[in-house]
Each structure stands twice: as C-alpha cells, then as structure tokens.
C-alpha cells in the first residue's frame, strides 16, 4: 500500500550551493554526444533482477492514478483530433505511438501497459486506431529476456490492436523522430545517471568533490571514499552531494527531457517515476546509519574477506531526487530551447510518495543485490569470493535493520510533463 509523504530531506542535510550554476546552464547540452551517451548505470543490474523485480510493482501502483489521469487526457486528445479530421474529411486512422523507457525484463512494464491500453479503450475506436508500442532497454541488457516476456502476452496486444517492438538503445540519446510520439512513460529508471558523460569520467565520480574543493580553496571533508557507496546516503560528503546534483543529476535529466520534448507531439505528455530521496535501500530506518551495503562491506574489510580498495572504488551511479529537483531540471531544459519555437515542457503534476516493497526480507535482500551488486564488481572490481562475502554480510544486515511486519518502505518521485510549443504563461516572460 502506498501513501503520499512530504518532500522533506529525510536522509541527509544539504544546503544547495551555487557552485558553477551559471556555467552549468551554459554547457548543459553542449558536451553531450548522441553517439556516446548511454544509461550504462542500468547495466550494473544483474540477470537475477528478473526473478525479484515483481517486488517493485508496488511503486507502479503507488503512482497509477497520476498515470491514468495522463492517459485520460491523451484519450481526450484522440477524440478531439478524430473529430477535427472527420469534419475535414481526412483519414482519422493514424497510428498512435507510445513508448516505455527502461523496460528491464518487461514483467512490470507489461502489467502497466495492460492498464494503459485498457484505459484507452474508452477513447479510441480500437479497430480503427492502431497502436504502436516501443519498449526501450539498455543495449547491454538481455533483449531475449524482454522479448520472451512480451511473447507471452500476444493476445493482450491483439485485443487492443497494438503491435510492439523492442529498442535496445540508451534513453540518454535520441530514440524517435521529432514530433512523432503521442505518449512516453518511464518507471524506475531515471535515477540512474549517464555514465558515458563525456564531461566527467564516471570512474572519477566518487571523488568529484575533491577537485571542486581544491578549486574553491576548501579543505576536504572528513568523510572519504570508504564511508559511502551511494551519494545520497548519510555519510557521503555534503559537497559531493551538491556536485553530483549540479554537475551530473541536473544535466543528465535535463538532457533526457530535451530529447523527449523534441520527440513528443505538441500537447503530448511524458510520465516519469523514479526512485526518490530517502528510499530505505539507501537510508535505513536507523537515522544514524550508513547504507547497509556500506556497513556490510566495512565488516568484510574488518574480517579480511574483502580488500579495502573495493569499498574505496565502489559506488552506485544513481542520484535520488525529490520534487524540487524535477522542477529545477525542467527549468534548466526550458532555458536552453529556442524562446520562439520551443519545444518547452511544463509540469502538470509531481508527487513524492512511499510504497512498501515487500515484507519478505530475504527476497528484498536478493532484489537489492540484483540491482546494486554490479556496481561492486563493475566499479569496485570485487572478486567472486569477495562478492559472496559481501552478500552474506548484507543478508545479516537486512535481517537486523528491517522488520518483516513493517516491510521495506521505498520512496519515489512521479511526475507528468506536457510538451508545449510556447512558453507556459505561468513561467512569465523570463525563465
């Protein structure tokens, strides 16, 4: 069961700095390369994610009302467009096009797509309104798993006069022709950052604050690279959190929004849901605690089963946002487009909410490892033996920190953005 919660800084304190803010606006999109851009963060997820991903569907349900309201508006646009075309004696059987970005193995996507297509039946004359659906996933993921999941639901697609295809590309690069998409949605993906960022080599992200601190004449904070694996956890340096927000998370999301705004038809909407600030996987119930992955790795270092440099180098390349971050990224993107022609985006709705990701603590631990374990091997260069030790220690920490009666409370951010060709009046003449 999910419920709305206030968008407070529940896991960490952060005084937003104006570090490089003017420079960031100027270069937000200048250094991106569509040939090299990638959402490589998703490839740290392991094959076992398919087995445990159903535990994440509660997050889909928690924002489903917002999604369905967006689908209803799409349906109303379909009816209006059809009426205009019929009155002008034009063919109204245009194929509608939608996409699901970050589909993973497809098990959660297919459930949400089923709800979306069923909701649309009220507004579209199914035999005369063919629907094209694209399911995008990172090119290093297993396309066979995704296609296998979809193949079990052929009757669902036939019922709704829909055809689908998979697209193994990064969502940090162009995906569709301009002005071609009627609806785009993404669930549980956009907290992953673009590790192919050409401006900042991902291998240096964990110490990015040190470079900035030297430029500002500031001393390094007491925290070092052995105190954290997630930038949003309690003992990650505050300066690093700010650097990641401004130099990585804001730019990457704004770049994503620019790409999608170009691809959406005027008036079409983009639905996004991502893991949010304060998620229990990163910020355990104990307010004074590091993430359980950090704790487990430290204990393994103490007993000699893991090398210290594994923790020094390992980090998870994602950033957990709140509602304010969404508005700021939209404003950053809108500042970079042609003021006369757009495309602009406006926020229709945005919410920060909680959902219980399950009460089976053992399965929750396996889900956690399937998502984050790749970062331990990919960035930390942990051996198989070290991974076994970390997983064993992590399982003990999960049983200590979480209760099977209460489950694990995840925090999420969901929002709907609308494509505009003109600047929203609410933003005023200057943005």
| pLDDT one-digit tens code per residue, 21-79 | 333 333 333 333 333 333 344 445 555 566 666 778 899 999 999 999 999 999 999 98
Which token pair is 185?
Answer: 């949605």
pLDDT band per the 50, 70, 90 thresholds, residue 234: very high
Mean pLDDT, the chain, integer: 85
Q: How confident is the model at residue 82 (pLDDT cuts 50, 70, 90)?
A: confident
pTM: 0.87
| CATH node for 11-221+238-277+319-354+413-423 | 3.40.50.150
Are the beta carbons of 286 and 398 closer than 8 angstroms? no
For a pLDDT cut of 90, what percent of the chain falls above it? 65
Question: What is the distance between the alpha carbons of residues 173 and 190, in angstroms, rounded to a whole number?
Answer: 13
Range in 101-105, 243-247, 250-254, 357-361 with the lowest mean pLDDT: 357-361
221 neighbors 239 (Cβ within 8 angstroms):
yes
Confidence of residue 222 (pLDDT cuts 50, 70, 90): low
Q: Is the pLDDT of residue 273 over 50?
A: yes
Q: What is the domain partition of the chain in residue ranges?
A: 11-221+238-277+319-354+413-423
What is the separation of C-alpha 425 from the centre of its chain, rounded to a whole number of angstroms? 28
417, β-bridge pairs: 270, 347
CB-based burial label for 329 (10 Å; 0-12, 13-18, 19+)? buried
Query: Is 56 exposed, middle or buried (CB count within 10 Å of its CB: 0-12, 13-18, 19+)?
Result: buried
Q: What is the mean pLDDT of residues 377-402?
A: 96
pLDDT value at residue 18? 37
Which among 212, 213, 169, 176 is positioned nearest to 194, based on CA atoms?
A: 169
Q: What is the pLDDT of residues 130-166, one digit of tens each?
A: 999 999 999 988 899 999 999 999 999 999 999 999 9
Q: What pLDDT does 48 receive?
A: 58
Q: What pLDDT score was predicted for residue 361?
A: 92
């Amino acid at each position: 069961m999910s419920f709305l919660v206030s968008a407070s800084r529940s896991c960490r304190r952060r005084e937003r700095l104006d570090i490089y803010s003017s420079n960031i606006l100027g270069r937000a999109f200048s250094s991106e390369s569509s040939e090299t851009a990638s959402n490589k963060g998703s490839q740290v997820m392991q094959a076992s994610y398919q087995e445990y991903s159903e535990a994440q569907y509660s997050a889909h349900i928690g924002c489903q009302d917002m999604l369905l309201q967006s689908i209803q508006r799409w349906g109303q646009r379909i009816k209006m467009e059809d009426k205009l075309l019929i009155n002008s004696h034009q063919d109204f059987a245009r194929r509608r096009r939608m996409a699901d970005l970050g589909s993973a193995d497809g098990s959660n996507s297919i459930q949400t797509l089923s709800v979306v297509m069923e909701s649309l039946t009220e507004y579209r004359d199914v035999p005369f309104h063919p629907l094209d659906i694209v399911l995008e996933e990172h090119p290093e993921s297993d396309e066979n798993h995704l296609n296998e999941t979809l193949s079990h639901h052929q009757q669902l697609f036939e019922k709704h006069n829909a055809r689908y295809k998979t697209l193994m590309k990064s969502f940090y690069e162009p995906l569709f022709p301009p002005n071609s998409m009627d609806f785009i949605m993404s669930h549980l993906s956009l907290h992953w950052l673009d590790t192919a960022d050409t401006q900042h080599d991902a291998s240096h992200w964990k110490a990015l604050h040190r470079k900035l601190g030297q430029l500002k004449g500031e001393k390094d904070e007491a925290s070092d690279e052995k105190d954290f694996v997630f930038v949003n956890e309690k003992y990650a340096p505050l300066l690093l959190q700010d650097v990641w927000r401004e130099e990585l998370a804001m730019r990457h999301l704004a770049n994503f929004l620019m790409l999608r705004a170009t691809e959406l038809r005027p008036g079409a909407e983009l639905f996004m849901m991502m893991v949010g600030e304060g998620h229990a996987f990163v910020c355990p119930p104990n307010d004074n605690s590091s993430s359980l992955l950090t704790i487990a790795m430290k204990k393994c270092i103490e007993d000699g089963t893991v090398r210290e440099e594994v923790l020094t180098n390992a980090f998870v390349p994602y950033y957990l946002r709140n509602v304010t971050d969404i508005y700021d990224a939209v404003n950053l993107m809108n500042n970079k487009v042609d003021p006369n022609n757009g495309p602009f985006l406006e926020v229709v709705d945005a919410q920060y909410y909680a959902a219980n990701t399950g009460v089976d603590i053992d399965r929750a631990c396996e889900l956690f490892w399937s998502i984050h374990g790749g970062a331990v091997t990919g960035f930390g260069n942990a051996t198989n033996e070290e991974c076994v030790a970390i997983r064993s220690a992590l399982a003990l920490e999960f049983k200590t920190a979480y209760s099977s009666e209460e489950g694990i409370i995840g925090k999420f951010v969901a929002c709907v953005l609308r494509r505009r060709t003109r600047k929203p009046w609410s933003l005023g003449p200057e943005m």
